[in-house]
Amino acid sequence: MRPTVPAALTACLALAACASIGPLPYDRSAEPHAIVAGTHASDPADDGIVRTFRVTAIDGWAVHGSVDPSQTLGVDQRDTLPVGRKVRVDFEGLQRFYNPARTLFKSGQRAEGHVELTPVNGASYTVHGEIGPQGTTVWLEDDATHQRVGEVFTQAPRKQEETPDYRTTTPGL
pLDDT of the residue at 167: 43
Flag whether pLDDT at 57 surpasses 70. yes
Contact 129, 139 (CB under 8 A): yes
How many Cβ atoms are within 10 Å of 73's Cβ, its own excluded? Answer: 20
DSSP characters over 43-105: -GGGTTEEEEEEEEEETTEESSTTS-GGGGTT---EEEEESSS-EEEEEEEEEEESSHHHHHH
Lowest pLDDT segment from 66-75, 130-139, 149-158: 66-75
Amino acid at 100: P
Boundaries of every domain in the chain: 32-160
Average pLDDT, the chain: 76
Query: Band of the pLDDT at 169, cuts 50, 70, 90?
Result: very low
Of residues 111, 130, 103, the one with CA closest to residue 47: 103
Amino acid at 86: K
Cα–Cα distance for residue pair 94/11, rounded to 1 Å: 40
Q: Give whole-number Cα distances, 26 to 59, 72, 82, 142, in Å.
A: 12, 19, 10, 22
Is residue 110 classed exposed, middle or buried when 0-12, 13-18 and 19+ CB atoms within 10 A define those classes? middle
Residues paired with residue 54 on neighbouring β-strands, in sequence order: 92
Bridge-based pairing state of the strands 124-132 and 87-97:
unpaired
Interval 72-123: pLDDT, tens? 665 678 888 999 999 999 998 888 777 777 766 666 678 899 999 999 999 9
Full-model pTM: 0.69
Contact 157, 106 (CB under 8 A): no
Interval 34-53: pLDDT, tens? 999 988 887 666 677 888 88
Main-chain dihedrals φ then ψ at residue 143, nearest 5 degrees: -65, -30
pLDDT of the residue at 58: 92
